[in-house]
Amino acid sequence: MASIFTKIINGEIPSYKIYEDEKTYAFLDINPEAKGHTLVVPKVEVDKIYDLEDDDWNALWASVKKVAKHMEEVTGRRVVMKVVGTDVPHAHVHLTPLSETWEYGKTLKLREDEFEEIRAKLAF
Ligand code: AMP
C-alpha cells in the first residue's frame, strides 16, 4: 500500500505544497512545531532515509538546502532541520523556521486559513 506521503505527492490527499521538482516534494507539516514547519520528501517511496539510492539522496538534500535557504530569506529566521522517521515510513526531512515559541516536539494547532496564508508566503 502506498504511503501517506506518496498519496500526497500523487495528489490523492491534499497538502499545502511549498516546492516540487522531478525527484522531491515539499509541503507543510500538519502538526507544526512552528509556523512554516515543512517536510521535504523524495518522490521515490523508501522507508529509511539512509536506504535512498545516491541520486535520490543527493536530490533530496539539494532540495532541503534550496527550501531552507528560501524559507530563511522569506521569514528572516534561522531554519532548523531534523530527521526523525518514527511515524511515517517514507523518508523525509523536517525544516522549521525558529520562533520564540518553538520547542522540540511541541506542536501548534493552526486553522486552514492560517496554513493557507503560510503556504502562500513560502511557496516557490
Ligand atoms: P516522523 O516520521 O516522526 O518524522 O514524523 C512524521 C511527520 O509527518 C509528523 O510531523 C506528522 O505531523 C507529519 N504528517 C503526517 N501526516 C501528514 C499529512 N497528511 N500532512 C502533513 N504532514 C503529515
Total tally of structural domains belonging to the chain: 1
CATH number, domain with residue 51? 3.30.428.10
Give distance in angstroms: CA of 85 to centre of ligand 1. 9
Mean pLDDT of 86-112: 93
Which of 10-19, 32-41, 94-103 shows the lowest per-residue confidence on average (mean pLDDT)? Answer: 94-103
| Ligand 1 and 30: CB distance under 6 A | yes
Q: How many helices (H) and strands (E) does the chain have?
A: 3, 5
Give the domain extent around 89. Answer: 4-122
For residue 4, give the C-alpha cell: 501517506
Task: Indicate whether 105 pLDDT > 90.
Answer: no
Q: Residue 8 carries which side chain, given as an amino acid letter?
A: I
Model confidence, pTM: 0.97
pLDDT digits (tens, 9 = 90+) for 51-91: 999 999 999 999 999 999 999 999 999 999 999 999 999 99
